[in-house]
């Protein structure tokens, strides 16, 4: 038994021949990339399920923005200490444990399913009643104040003694009720997820940089790892499309997915991501502290021989010195400013991109997630790989990375500006104004958008004069051709810009992901190698604190300001001003990206006139510069 254990064990003091062959740097990059897929999938999965989560919990976009920002709060708590002190620990095991904790927290988020959504209770009860005149569904139908509740399909409004019409409510959000417990579960789990993922990328960079002989190939290795991780968002979108097509309680229902009471099985996606994250994080723990095949420098060997107490003491003493060296470097400071601005512009826009497409083009969550997932899965993978390949093949130093980042930022800005044009007009909804016709017969405050068979939108079945319903449509609507029908949701838009928008969306994603590795290496190579792990950690800390953290809340507030009609409880928006939504969200993002380009211009000017110093990373570019200077002196 001991001999068998020795042959198969790779953890702790026991080592087998397999363990000596398995731990190579390419194997580590592959294992971490697969694990990172599911870590990266969390944000996109949450973004694709925003509509269902808002309806389930009864919260607004600013509250879901707070859930996303809580992830960054946890990130801020742990990123500096984790990225600095983590390099003195066993990095592979630390990454493995972090991935398992992340997966567990994802499954904790799914506990929000235990909270029964009110709109779903009403919907399931109503769908079991063919007449639709009992329970909660009565409030959506045409019921004059002097009218008996028992209405038959043969009743016509012209035969009834209608009271004088009442003005329809303005639709402003009423005072929301106390936030549900499920909201706080999301917040707390997001904080923990942010803490355990904060130091992962800085430590991976440090692990690769200290275990590779040729430093110019580190960009290729990191690019391959990032390429694998970048598959997380499209996989999450495809998964989101699948779970959005299932009812929240996984029971059979005849409800249409266009019904504003429809809630997809969002919680199932979190369970799947959590389980996958736990399983694929375990193999990382089997890698050693140092890759045996790599030639470590003398300083790293000395660090590995230090005792734990001495290593911790040395870490505390080196951290202030590293911070002082970094913040005295104007190039690094400006790179951090660029990262902050870009983080604010992208994170808020991308967090609500699914909701934006749903609202702008009148698509369901399932349609949007499936479309975007299929389109960008290739653009994201190809773009990230190209970024790493360009950085490695051209052997770019700081200046080269800055130029590539500048070109990509300018091209992306030009593409994204077309979003202001590629959009749809507001739907003409009857009842949106304060006064309504006498056929509204005393409608209440409830908003339930329907599309009549005359291709006209109504703010509620009551405003369409509908007297009863079946499982999917409203019948006997006197305002619709004297007795037509209506279905839940808005009518299809006569808008030709959905396909052009998705083409530009894909091209923008391709360009943006191509710039990930150059921008990342620009930050890492603006400082000396001994400060790289902390420099990346400080950059992410600053970007999260001043960019990513407030961005979803800011964008959520902007989205809420475009709401025309809120639910009766004031929890979530039922109807948005589509044009204002487009101008405000895209205008805010484009403005921030313009400032980002201006700061990048300052960085290139400093490099051009020698006002800053970058890290001493060997490259063809730096060698050529030195040769030119030497010949000039001769």
Q: What's the residue count for the chain?
A: 634
pLDDT, position 593: 92
pLDDT, position 316: 67
Query: E strand or H helix at 66, and its extent?
Result: helix 61-85
pLDDT, position 583: 94
Q: Name the stretches of the chain with pLDDT < 50.
A: 1-9, 12-14, 16, 18, 126-136, 146-176, 293-298, 306, 434-440, 616-634
pLDDT, position 10: 53
pLDDT, position 618: 39
Query: E strand or H helix at 487, and its extent?
Result: strand 484-488
Could you tell me which residues come within 8 angstroms of residue 562 by beta carbon, excluding any fewer than 6 positions away? 576, 577, 580, 581, 584
Query: Cα(588)–Cα(561) distance, rounded to whole angstroms?
Result: 14
Rounded to an integer, what is the distance from CA 553 to the centroid of its chain?
13
**478, 465 contact by CB (below 8 A):** yes
Please tell me whether residue 541 adopts helix, strand or coil conformation: helix
Please tell me whether residue 141 adopts helix, strand or coil conformation: coil
592: which 2 tokens? Answer: 């921030």
pLDDT, position 545: 84
Query: E strand or H helix at 370, and its extent?
Result: helix 365-393
409: which 2 tokens? Answer: 């930022």
Query: Cα(628)–Cα(372) distance, rounded to whole angstroms?
Result: 48
352: which 2 tokens? Answer: 């609500």
pLDDT, position 32: 83
Instruction: Using DSSP bridges, classify how beta strands 474-477 and 466-469 pair: parallel, antiparallel or unpaired.
Output: antiparallel
**409, 511 contact by CB (below 8 A):** no
Could you tell me which residues come within 8 angstroms of residue 347 by beta carbon, excluding any fewer than 6 positions away? 547, 548, 551, 552
pLDDT, position 134: 40
pLDDT, position 488: 84
What pairs with residue 477 in β-bridges? Answer: 466, 484
What pairs with residue 452 in β-bridges? Answer: 486
Q: What is the dihedral of CA 288, 294, 300, 306, to 10 degrees?
A: 40
Among 345, 351, 418, 385, which Cα is nearest to 599's? 345
């Amino acid at each position: 038994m001991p001999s068998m254990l020795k042959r198969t064990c790779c953890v702790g003091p026991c080592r087998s021949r397999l363990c000596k062959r398995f731990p190579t740097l390419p194997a580590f990059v592959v294992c971490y990339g697969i694990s990172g897929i599911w870590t990266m999938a969390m944000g996109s999965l949450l973004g694709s399920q925003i509509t269902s989560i808002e309806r389930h919990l009864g919260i607004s976009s600013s509250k879901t923005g707070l859930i996303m920002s809580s992830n960054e709060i946890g990130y801020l708590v742990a990123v500096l200490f984790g990225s600095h002190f983590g390099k003195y620990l066993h990095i592979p095991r630390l990454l493995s444990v972090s991935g398992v904790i992340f997966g567990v927290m994802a499954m904790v988020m799914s506990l929000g399913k235990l909270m029964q959504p009110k709109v779903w209770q009403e919907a399931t009860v109503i769908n079991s009643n063919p007449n639709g005149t009992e329970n909660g569904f009565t409030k959506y139908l045409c019921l004059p104040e002097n009218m008996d509740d028992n209405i038959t399909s043969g009743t016509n409004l012209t035969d009834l003694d209608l009271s004088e019409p009442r003005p329809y409510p303005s639709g402003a959000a009423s005072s929301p009720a106390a936030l549900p417990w499920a909201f706080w579960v999301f917040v707390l789990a997001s904080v923990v997820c942010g803490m355990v993922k904060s130091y992962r990328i800085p430590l991976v960079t440090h692990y690769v940089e200290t275990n590779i002989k040729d430093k110019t190939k580190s960009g290729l290795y990191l690019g391959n790892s990032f390429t694998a991780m970048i598959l997380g968002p499209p996989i999450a979108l495809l998964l989101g499309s699948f779970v959005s097509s299932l009812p929240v309680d996984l029971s059979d229902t005849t409800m249409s997915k266009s019904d504003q009471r429809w809630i997809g099985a969002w919680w199932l996606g979190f369970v799947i991501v959590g389980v996958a994250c736990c399983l694929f994080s375990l193999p990382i723990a089997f890698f050693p502290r140092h890759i045996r095949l790599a030639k470590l420098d003398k300083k790293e060997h000395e660090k590995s021989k230090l005792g734990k107490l001495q290593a911790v003491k040395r870490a505390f003493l080196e951290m202030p010195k590293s911070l002082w060296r970094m913040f005295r470097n104007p190039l690094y400071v400006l790179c951090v400013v660029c990262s902050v601005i870009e983080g604010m512009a992208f994170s808020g826009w991308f967090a609500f991109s699914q909701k934006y497409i749903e609202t702008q083009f009148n698509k369901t969550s399932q349609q949007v997630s499936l479309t975007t997932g299929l389109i960008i899965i290739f653009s994201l993978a190809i773009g990230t790989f190209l970024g790493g390949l360009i950085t490695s093949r051209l052997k770019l130093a700081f200046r080269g990375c800055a130029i590539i980042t500048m070109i990509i930022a300018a091209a992306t800005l030009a593409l994204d500006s077309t979003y202001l044009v590629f959009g749809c007009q507001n739907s003409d909804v009857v009842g949106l104004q304060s006064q309504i016709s006498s056929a509204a017969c005393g409608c209440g405050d409830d908003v339930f958008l329907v599309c009549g068979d005359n291709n006209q939108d109504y703010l509620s079945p009551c405003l369409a004069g509908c007297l009863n319903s079946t499982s999917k449509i409203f019948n006997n609507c006197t305002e619709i051709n004297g007795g037509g029908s209506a279905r839940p949701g808005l009518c299809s838009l006569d808008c030709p810009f959905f396909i052009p928008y998705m083409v530009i969306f894909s091209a923008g994603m391709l360009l943006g992901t191509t710039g990930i590795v150059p921008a990342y290496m620009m930050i890492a190579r603006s400082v000396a190698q001994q400060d790289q792990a902390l420099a990346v950690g400080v950059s992410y800390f600053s970007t999260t604190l001043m960019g990513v953290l407030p961005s979803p809340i800011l964008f959520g507030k902007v989205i809420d300001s475009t709401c025309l009609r809120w639910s009766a409880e004031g929890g979530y928006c039922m109807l948005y001003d589509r044009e204002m939504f487009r101008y405000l969200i895209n205008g805010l993002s484009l403005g921030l990206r313009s400032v980002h380009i201006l700061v990048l211009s300052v960085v290139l000017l400093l490099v051009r006139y020698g006002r800053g110093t970058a890290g001493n990373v060997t490259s063809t570019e730096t060698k050529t510069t030195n040769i030119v200077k030497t010949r000039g002196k001769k």
